[in-house]
Each structure stands twice: as C-alpha cells, then as structure tokens.
Amino acid sequence: MKLTSKSVALVPIIVTVATAAIGATLIAPPAANAASTLGAAAAQSGRYYGTAVAASKLGDSTYSNILRTEFNMVTAENEMKWDATEPNRGQFNYSNGDRILNTAVGNGSRVRGHALLWYQQEPGWAQRMEGSDLRQAMMNHVTQVATHYKGKIYAWDVVNEAFADGNSGGRRDSNLQRTGNDWIEAAFRAARAADPAAKLCYNDYNTDGINAKSTGVYNMVRDFKSRGVPIDCVGFQAHLTNNAPSDMRQNLQRFADLGVDVQITELDIAGSNQANAYADVTRACLAVTRCTGITVWGIRDNDSWRTGENPLLFTNSGAKKAAYNSVLAALNSADPGTTTTTTTTTTTTTTSNDPGTGGCTATVSLNQWNEGFVATIKVTAGSSALSGWTVTTTLSSATVTGSWSANRSGNSGTVNWTNVDYNASVPAGGSTEFGFQGSGSGSGLNPTCAAR
Ligand code: 9MR
C-alpha cells in the first residue's frame, strides 16, 4: 500500500505485538510482631530506612543514639562531596567521610555514597575550569573517590541534579554539562570500573511525580539501559511541602519498569499535613517492588538544611513526632489480610498508517498496572522530514490525567495529540516521543500518525 498524501485516511495496520506480564506480590511480610524502629520495620520487607548524617554531630549523644537505634542506611550529608574530598586538585581528604562510614559500619548500617559529580559544592579550583581539562579532572575525581571507598558503598549517587527545572525536560547548564553531553555516561562508566560492587544511581529533585523534568531523566535512563551504560538505580530526593505528588507511585513504577532500582533519597516534608504526607511517601515506596529504601535528610528538625520548617521525624530534643509514628505504622502495615497484588503489564504495539511520502508512524509502549497506566508514544517520520504531526489515540475506557511533550484535544474518547514547538521537526526516518498517564485501561490505544 502506498499512501502519498497528508490527508490520506489513517488505516491502522497492526505490525507487531509483544506482551510481557510481570506479576508481583507486594508488601509481603506478616505484621505479627510489629517492629519498633524505622530500620527494623523497613527490613521486614527487605528495605532500608536511612538518614543523612553530619560528621560534626557524631559527638552529640542524642543524635548518635537515634542514629544507631533507628536507621540502617547512612548518607554523608556533605562529607563525600567533591569540595570535601578533593579540596585541591589531585589532593584527597577522606577524614570526615571515613568517620561517617566507620560509624555507620560500627552500627551495622550500610552507606549510600553522595555524590561523585554535582554542579554545586565543586571545589573552587574545579569551578574555574572548563572543557577537556575539566572533563579529565571530573573523571579522575570519580575514579579516585570510588576507588577509595571500593567495596564499602551500597549505592553511589554518581551524578546529582543534572536536569533543568521547568518544562524543557533537558539538561541543566553547568561547567560539567559544557564538557559535552556524554559526561554523565562517562562518569557512570568510570564509577563502574572503579567499584564494580556499588550500585550506581542518578539522583535529582522535583522528579518525584510525573512531570517534564522526571520524564527527561526517564528518557536518559531508558537510553542508558538500551545502550548498556551501567546505571542501576535512580534516587528521588523528595524535598516536599504538605503533600506527596499524587502520582509518586506511578512515577517510581515507570522507572522501575526500565529495569533500575528506585529509592527515596533525601526525604523531608514541611507543612501541617506532614504526618499524612510521610505516610503517603512510605506507601508509594512499599507499593513498588524495586523501591529498595527511604532516606530522610537529617534526624531532628534542627539538623535540617530547611531551617525553621521542621520537616523531619524527630523534634529538636530528639522526641518522636507524629510523622515518625505515621511512618512506622506504614512500614508495619504489612498485614497478611491486606496483602496487595499488583500486576504490571508492558505491551509494545506498533500501529501505523503506511508512512509513504510525507507520512509518519506511531508506536506505543504501555505500562499498565491495576488501575492506571503510562503510555509512551514514539512518532517516526517516513521518507520525508516532518514539520509537524498529529497522533490520534482511542481511549475508550481510560481518562488522561497528565501528559508531556504534546498538546492534546481532550482526555477521553478520541484524543488528538499534536507536536509542541520543540518536537515539531522530525528528520526523515527520525523519531520523537511524547507520553501521558491515565486512569483505567490503556489497552486499545491504537495510535495513528499524520503529518501536519
Ligand atoms: O543538606 C546539605 C547542606 O548541609 C549543604 O549546605 C547543601 C549545599 O548545597 O547541600 C545540602 O544537601 C543537598 C544535597 O546534597 C543534594 N540535594 C539537595 C540537598 C539540600 O540542599
């Protein structure tokens, strides 16, 4: 069939259908003996509960007692960052990082390494560098620090906060980024070579729900997985106020579906709904099999970087807050009677009109769970470049609740999606993607594509 006109009828042809069903039983352990500490409660489901630790506070007995009894994962709040570990080029200082690591190990805790490369807290000498000289210094830093801690780190935040805020979905400008877009994968490869046992994570904030920024990270992780770049996990910082994003679980799940572990890495929550929001974040992680643990960003309110916002689980004097009790209860809520089973099905369907000259095809990758889904749609140009496109989907038993990288005509029934400015142009044979999440069933979307 040869279709040559833009206005030609869209005749769907099912080209390929591949379906994989993954059944997962979640929140398994019985709560016969509810655990009385955060770490023990999280361990019932094989997860950890951690905190950020400041070396300067280890001499405070209230602080170190809570640390020892409640937590089984530790992140150095500042002591393993670039400015702390390499204050002068080629001259390394691990004294405070090692103090935290040794304290953690002495308490029977594991350690998250934070962070090998971050555009903030670069030492002054690195801030003044650019280009290939900086790239060389960056990779040497990754190699040296990961080698020093080889075999002792559960997971490294190899790269922290490399994506821009707002709707671009792209990278943040920095001297690191200006060394070339491949700096992130180069860092992951260097870290893997130095410490093959550590899980290697990308970590960021404002990526806790589904939005343009988290989708930018998602696309990078998917690309890394498809090209064999060694990435094992994604950290979601979760610096929140009042509420967890309503789609936090779905967001964690879509990353997990790419084949990486996910973790909540720097949790703190300000505002009057704090206790509920903490429980919501806890449940979001517990509902995702590959969410392996939660770390709060400090112990007592006055240990927090968010001065005056009281966003943590313990008061200034070290007493447990309502938020503490709600987290503990959520971690202990594994009741055999309420064990939930979630089935996630990943379906890749190619439905197309024959692209012919000036046409395009659309394919959908669908992650469906019990009551909702995320659909990623790939638009591929035919033998001519596109200067704009329209994709039509059929949502007979679903409602769109959020979307990215396309304009849409409605949220159910026949929904038309058109390009936004930055993805209107697609070269001949090239492709671009947009996506959406919805409630209900995403099956039968049957996307068709037309040039515009
Ligand atoms: O909590 C850290 C604070 O003590 C430092 O002054 C600050 C410096 O930028 O970094 C804080 O931790 C950050 C973390 O390393 C990365 N995500 C955001 C955290 C809060 O700013």
Structure tokens at 401: 């609740």
What is the mean predicted confidence (pLDDT) over 62-86?
A: 98
Pocket test for ligand 1, best of 51, 56, 57, 77 (most atoms within 8 A of CB): 77
Q: 108 C-alpha vs ligand 1 centroid, how far in Å? A: 25
161 is catalytic: yes
The yes-or-no verdict on residue 141 having pLDDT over 50 is yes
Q: Are strands 13-25 and 341-352 parallel, antiparallel or unpaired?
A: antiparallel
The yes-or-no verdict on residue 47 having pLDDT over 90 is yes
Q: 305 C-alpha vs ligand 1 centroid, how far in Å? A: 7
How confident is residue 347, by pLDDT bands cut at 50, 70 and 90? low
Among residues 266, 309, 371, 433, the one annotated as catalytic is 266
Minimum CA distance residue for ligand 1 atom 16: 160
Sheet holding 341-352, edge to edge: 13-25, 341-352, 360-368, 372-381, 431-440, 398-404
Q: What is the pLDDT of residue 28?
A: 44
Among residues 86, 161, 185, 433, the one annotated as catalytic is 161
266 is catalytic: yes
Q: What is the pLDDT of residue 369?
A: 65
Mean pLDDT of the chain: 89
What is the mean predicted confidence (pLDDT) over 303-319?
A: 98
Higher pLDDT, 343 or 249: 249
Q: 133 C-alpha vs ligand 1 centroid, how far in Å? A: 27
Cα-based distances in Å from 401 to 105, 247, 248, 348: 45, 10, 13, 21
| Segments of 54-140 assigned E as strands | 73-76, 110-118
What is the mean predicted confidence (pLDDT) over 85-99?
A: 98
Evaluated on CA atoms 351, 355, 359, 360, the torsion sign reads: positive
Indicate the DSSP class of residue 337. G
The yes-or-no verdict on residue 306 having pLDDT over 50 is yes
Q: What is the pLDDT of residue 421?
A: 82
Model pTM score? 0.74
Among 6-15, 224-233, 366-375, where is mean pLDDT lowest?
Answer: 6-15
- Residues near 105 by Cβ (< 8 Å), separated by ≥ 6? 111, 152
How confident is residue 6, by pLDDT bands cut at 50, 70 and 90? very low
The yes-or-no verdict on residue 336 having pLDDT over 80 is no
Pocket test for ligand 1, best of 207, 208, 297, 305 (most atoms within 8 A of CB): 305
Q: Are strands 431-440 and 398-404 parallel, antiparallel or unpaired?
A: antiparallel
**In this prediction, what percent of the chain has a pLDDT beyond 90?**
75
End-to-end CA distance of the chain: 21
Whether 212 and 169 have beta carbons less than 8 Å apart is answered as: yes
